[in-house]
Amino acid sequence: MSLDPRKKPARPGGKRPVQGGGGHVARKRFGQNFLVDHGVIDEIVRAIAPRPGESLVEIGPGLGALTNPVVERSERLTVVELDRDLAARLRKRSELNVIESDVLKVDFAQLATDAGQKLRIIGNLPYNISSPILFHLLPIADHVVDQHFMLQKEVVDRMVASPGNKDYSRLSVMLQWRYDMENVVAVPPESFDPPPKVDSAVVRMVPLPNPPQVDLAVFEKMVAVAFSQRRKILRHTLGAWITEHGLSTDFDLQRRAEEVPVAEYVALAAMVKPG
Ligand code: SAM
């Protein structure tokens, strides 16, 4: 313990600097849980396999747990960080292009255009806004090679679930329409400082080369309606939507939302003429 009277001792359970974080205290409102387990960090970096010349973008670099080993391999890296103090630290490094911003305001299509190639996007995401980030990136999937994201395990389970599985949900349909997805690394709470209350996992998302054509706004609305009462048969929910859009279809409404394959949802949404 320090004998320096100017230094307050850390309160057990109170705010204390992050392990190896040069005095940084984690900010809960920014979803800050920093990776500190080097075995897990190596496993994630191996799954990403960064290479020089690629246009890599990291969301939420924080104290650099992933940033450092990734930029060692890729030589250049663009990072998007909202925390002003962390962004200021990162700006001191010439190999990083630092965008100090809310990721939900970043134009990733423009980043890809500026880079002259598709992006590889990575990040240990702030869990409080992980779904909004996934939906922010969905319309620009054409500009992406792949995405590797750390998320709550429960969210990854929903993303990759098949029809009939209890985790098959709105998120499964909305993302499986556009990406091939795989759970690649399991990460326990003790790999972070401070540890989150939930298990985590890294998902790899690769945009499908020829996704079926559908109006994203129509599709999103329709899937939300279908899953609004997932225990009931679809006659009560999607039935009304089909009538409202004047569609003539033999879509089986005696099923529940969790039983319908993604392709059938896409085909139904594609029947709506762009208005
Ligand atoms: N990558 C680091 C690691 O693995 O240790 C930090 C991950 S921490 C879970 C999430 C990071 O995202 C933090 O650095 C946080 O400041 C940043 N962040 C939170 N909200 C953000 C937002 N809206 N836009 C950009 N970055 C954000």
Contacting residues for 143 by C-beta, under 8 A, at least 6 apart: 108, 109, 111, 112, 113, 118, 119
Contact 82, 106 (CB under 8 A): no
Ligand 1 atom closest to the CA of 34, numbered from 1:
5
What does the domain layout of the chain look like in residue ranges? Answer: 17-207, 216-270
Q: Which atom of ligand 1 is nearest to the CA of 192?
A: 5
Q: Give the model's pLDDT for residue 127.
A: 94
pTM of the model: 0.93
Q: Rounded to an integer, what distance in angstroms lies between the CA atom of residue 184 and that of residue 206?
A: 13
Class of domain 17-207: alpha beta
Q: Where does the pLDDT of residue 9 fall: very low under 50, low under 70, confident under 90, or very high at 90 and above?
A: very low
Rounded to the nearest whole angstrom, what is the distance from the C-alpha of residue 94 to the centroid of ligand 1? Answer: 20
Beta bridge partner(s), residue 35 = 192
Question: 124 CA to middle of ligand 1, Å?
Answer: 7
Q: Which fold, 216-270?
A: Helicase, Ruva Protein; domain 3 (1.10.8)
Distance 91 CA to ligand 1 centre (A): 15
pLDDT, tens digit, 9 for 90 and up, residues 28-47: 999 999 999 999 999 999 99
Q: Which long-range contacts (CB under 8 A, 24 or more apart) does 98-103 make?
A: 103/59, 103/60, 103/129, 103/133, 103/136
Q: Which candidate, 268, 259, 82, places its Cα nearest to that of 161? A: 259
